[in-house]
Structure 1
Amino acid sequence: MSAKQIFAILLTVLGIGGLIYTAMQLLDNNKDQFMTLTVVGILGLIFFSAGIKLLQSSRDV
């Protein structure tokens, strides 16, 4: 496994974690942290998509 693939997996896991955290906090109906949840959700989405794209591009042949 190359360093590029390890970094891609790390990005993907961080993205999934951010998206799950955002979803759990939204289900708690706490409207006080709307801006924080927006930022965490967007960063989670960016990390997840970047990790997936990096995994697809670094596939061993």
Structure 2
Amino acid sequence: MNVKRVFGAVLTILGVISLIYTGYELINKSTSYTSLIVIGVIGLIFFFSGISLVKNTKDEA
């Protein structure tokens, strides 16, 4: 099992969770928009970096 793939999967899952949380709070009209923007941006960074790690890592068995 490749460590980079596992780390990429964990980053992707964390990104999805933070994006879902951001969307949920925006729908509920939360008043702390600054923190929601920060959480959303960090979620996007985690999501796309995790996807690229999984996609670009070669399987060497």
Give the aligned residue type for 1:49: F
Q: TM-score, normalised by structure 1?
A: 0.92
Instruction: Answer yes or no: is 1:2 the counterpart of 2:2.
Output: yes
Equivalent residues, number: 60
List runs of 5+ in structure 1 lacking aligned partners.
none
RMSD: 1.1
Identity among equivalent positions (%) equals 40
> Which consecutive aligned stretches of 4+ in structure 1 deviate over 3 angstroms post-superposition?
none
How much does 1:59 deviate? Answer: 3.7
* Conserved 8 A contact 2:15-2:44: yes
List runs of 5+ in structure 2 lacking aligned partners.
none
| Structure whose residues are more often helix by fraction | 1
